[in-house]
Amino acid sequence: MGLKGIDGFHVSVEVDVAGGLPSFTVVGLPEAEVRESRDRVKAAIRNSGFDFPVKRITVNLSPAEVKKSGSHFDLPIALGLLSASGQLGKKTVFDLEKTVFLGELSLDGAVRPAPGVLPMLVPLAALGFENALVPSANAGEAVVSGLCAFPVSSLKDAVAVLKGECPAVPARETETAAEFVSDYAGCGDFSDVKGQPFAKRALEIAAAGGHNVLLIGPPGTGKSMLARRFAGILPPMGREEALETTRIYSVSGLLKGSGLLRTRPFRDPHHTVSETALVGGGGNPRPGEVSLAHNGVLFLDELPEFSRSGLEVLREPLEDGHVTIARARERVTFPARFTLVSAMNPCPCGYLGHPDRTCRCTPLQVRQYSAKISGPLLDRIDLTVHLNPVRYKDWESARAEEPSGEIRKRVIRAREVQAARFAGGKTRLNAFMGVREIRKHCVMPEGAGEILEAAMARLGLSARSLDKILKTARTIADLGGEKNILRAHIIEAVQYRSFDRSAATERI
């Protein structure tokens, strides 16, 4: 099997052992790691107690016109050599034509884990394959409907399984520990944050409906503290979401355990991140941070410090939920449906509007700072929250703040409502509704038109911004257990559009 993006495609490994001067040739557009398999396979066969044929060996990887990369071709090449040289016998337990082999070989014959096992196995059942031999370390992610995967730890074990000399035990699905993607235990609790009820409410709405959030405030107001606790109020992923996310992490080689990921990813790239690292790419395209945050959270701290071009490439995934990487010979699409949580200061020095500190920035500096975030990008942010410094009486108060667990319960209830609403369709959350779904599920109450008209005139809202307000109001209604959107929901949703360009100009 080979990989194109996060999708697997079938590769036939053909081995010919003929007379002539000893040689070992791999053809079929192999990249460097595939060509290097010659030395690994040769040593692994000898060190496993088998005879390496000293003949003219040709290995063909078909289809020949597609590049092959990855070390997972080691095991099928080695087994092909043993079969071609008669060391597997004439009859095997499994039909080799309907069996897939994946795994990197060490020099002593051990089968090492390979990235991308899950996405490579997914399409196999539809192609008529019945069995797969995979590395033991990848056994947990190799449970695919319609396919029996058998873990092997060495080349000798693989041969024994094929010959029927040892029992073949199929892999069973296990869950990867949560810390491999998002450490819920270490993300903290909302009860740790004193004050900031408006920001907590906005983050609850964002978690319930998958809405994008921008937190604005002076240093020390708790922007990063709140954002990092956002993961703690998200529900675990369902099986379909877990499969999607695990495929991405498997391709990226970031699965450090076995099984499906259940914890929603929380990605926190530094503002010096390159565009390629952010959205994906490279000579052999790999997922970037936006895809690694699929079904989870992408947190961008100090938003204006990111490069302007880097922020602009976020527009496609925020709108469409995927990223397309185009190259001369191929075009790869990675899923990227995430919730953006971002934070920024109100000005370069950070103290614009602070009740006790004086801002040292000129109006031009403030204007240039806010202009780093373009209007089209702002249009794709549903909720904007301005945080004020925490007062001393709130900081020293003994009053217990609401814990993340209680907020998560409300978020889960709201998501269950959305799951019933969008059952049978591709949409999962209110934030991802299309125009037709907005018209169907976001019917405005009487008097809402005047509210939106006034907001559009004062804040300079676009048509997309009005749709964002309706989506947010739908989520607020779901959190409140309301079947229909009320005027109060519209009014609350409008409050979160306060950083649209015209409003920012008025503040400056």
Interior angle at CA 300, CA 365 and CA 469, nearest 5: 85
Average pLDDT for residues 102-123, to the nearest whole number?
90
Q: What is the pLDDT of residue 88?
A: 85
Please tell me the distance from the alpha carbon of residue 332 to that of residue 320, in angstroms, as a whole number. 15
Q: Is the pLDDT of residue 190 over 90?
A: no
Q: Work out the average pLDDT over 187-193.
A: 83
- Residue 205 pLDDT greater than 50, yes or no: yes
Pick from 84-93, 182-191, 442-451 the range whose average pLDDT is largest: 442-451
- Output the pLDDT for position 283: 75
Regarding beta strands 23-27 and 2-4, do their DSSP bridges make them parallel or antiparallel, or are they unpaired? unpaired
Let me know: does 263 contact 181? Beta carbons within 8 Å.
yes
- Burial readout 355-377 (b: 16 or more C-beta within 10 A, e: otherwise): eeeebebeeebbeebbeebeeeb
- For the stretch 295-347, pLDDT in tens is 999 999 999 999 988 899 999 899 889 998 887 777 888 999 999 999 999 99
Question: Which phi and psi (to 5°) does residue 134 adopt?
Answer: -130, 160
Query: What span, in angstroms and rounded, lies between the C-alpha atoms of 218 and 314?
Result: 25
Question: Residue 173: what pLDDT?
Answer: 61
| Residue length of the chain | 508
* 332 contact partners, CB below 8 Å, separation of at least 6: 4, 5, 285, 324, 325
Q: How high is the mean pLDDT of the chain?
A: 86
* Residues of each domain in the chain carrying CATH 3.30.230.10: 2-163
Of the candidate ranges 3-17, 233-247, 384-398, the one whose mean pLDDT is the lowest: 384-398
DSSP annotation of 504 reads H
Give the per-residue pLDDT at 459. Answer: 79
Higher pLDDT, 6 or 483: 483
pLDDT at 176 over 60: no
Average pLDDT of the segment spanning 244-251: 89
Least confident of 128-142, 435-449, 471-485: 128-142
pLDDT band per the 50, 70, 90 thresholds, residue 182? very low
Distances (CA, A) of 366 to 26, 308, 311, 369, 506: 60, 16, 19, 5, 12
Residue 281 has pLDDT above 50, yes or no: yes
CA-based nearest residue to 135, from 94, 103, 173: 103
The pLDDT of residue 69 is 87
Q: Tell me: pLDDT of 490 over 80.
A: yes
Stated as kind and residue range, the H or E segment containing 204 is: helix 197-209
* CATH pick for 2-163 out of 3.40.50.620, 3.30.230.10, 3.50.50.60, 3.10.129.10: 3.30.230.10
Between the ranges 70-74, 205-209, 250-254, 324-328, where is the mean pLDDT highest?
A: 205-209
- pLDDT tens digits along 4-39: 888 888 899 999 999 889 999 999 988 888 999 999
For residues 185 and 147, the model is more confident at: 147
Between residues 211 and 370, which one has the greater pLDDT?
Answer: 211
Superfamily of domain 180-507: P-loop containing nucleotide triphosphate hydrolases (3.40.50.300)
Residue with tokens 């926190």: 268
List, for residues 141-160, the tens digit of each pLDDT value: 887 877 888 889 999 999 99
Mind listing the pLDDT tens digit for each residue in 229-239?
998 899 988 88
Does residue 177 register a pLDDT over 50?
Answer: no
Whole-model pTM: value is 0.85
Q: Is the predicted pLDDT of residue 187 greater than 80, yes or no?
A: no
| pLDDT the model gives residue 238 | 86
CATH 3.40.50.300 segments of the chain: 180-507
CB 114 within 8 A of CB 104: yes
Q: Please check the confidence at residue 374 and state whether its pLDDT lies above 90.
A: no
pLDDT band at residue 207 under the 50/70/90 scheme: very high
Mean pLDDT on 264-292: 90
CA dihedral 468, 472, 475, 476 (to 10 degrees): -160
232 vs 90, higher pLDDT: 232
pLDDT of residue 96: 83
Quote the percentage of the chain above a pLDDT of 70: 93
Given this model, what pLDDT does residue 506 score? 41
Residue 278: φ, ψ to 5°: -75, -50
How would DSSP label each residue in 404-454? HHHHHHHHHHHHHHHHHHTTTSS--SGGG--HHHHHHH-PPPTTHHHHHHH
Rounded to 5, what percent of the chain is helix, strand, coil? Answer: 40, 15, 40
Checking if the pLDDT of 396 tops 80, the result is no
Supply the pLDDT for residue 499: 62
- CA separation for the pair 434, 451 (Å, rounded): 22
pLDDT over threshold 90, residue 194: no
Using DSSP's 3-state secondary structure scheme, residue 201 falls into helix
Confirm if 504 and 347 have CB atoms less than 8 A apart: no
Task: Encode burial over 267-297: b for 16+ CB neighbours within 10 A, e otherwise.
Answer: bbbeeebebebbbbbeeebbbbbbbbbbbbb
What would the two tokens of residue 270 be?
């530094």
CA–CA distance, 171 with 138 (Å, rounded to integer): 9
For residues 173 and 200, which has the higher predicted lDDT (pLDDT)? 200
Q: Do the Cβ atoms of 166 and 134 come closer than 8 Å?
A: no
